Amino acid sequence: MTGVTLISTGGTIASRHSEQDGAVTASLAGAALMGMLHDPLDGIDVRVQEFRELNSFALTLADAHGLVAAIRTALDAPDCAGVVVTHGTDTMEESAYLADILVAGDKPVVFTGAQRHAGDPDSDGPRNIADAIRVAAAPQARGIGAVILFEGEIHAARDVTKAHTSRTDTFRSPGAGKLGEVDLGEVHLYRHPGARRIVADAGLAEGVELLKLGLGATPALLEFCAQSGAPGVVIEGFGRGNAPRGFAPVVARLTQAGVPVLLASRCFEGRTRAVYGADSGGTTLVEAGALMTGTLPGLKSRLLLAALLGQGAGRDEIAAALLRA
Binding-site entries: 56, 89-90
Active-site residue set:
12, 89
* Residues in the annotated binding site for substrate: 56, 89-90
C-alpha Rg value of the chain to the nearest Å: 20
Distances in Å between the Cα of 299 and the Cα atoms of 92, 236, 263 are 11, 9, 11
For residues 168 and 173, give the distance between their C-alpha atoms in angstroms, rounded to a whole number.
Answer: 15
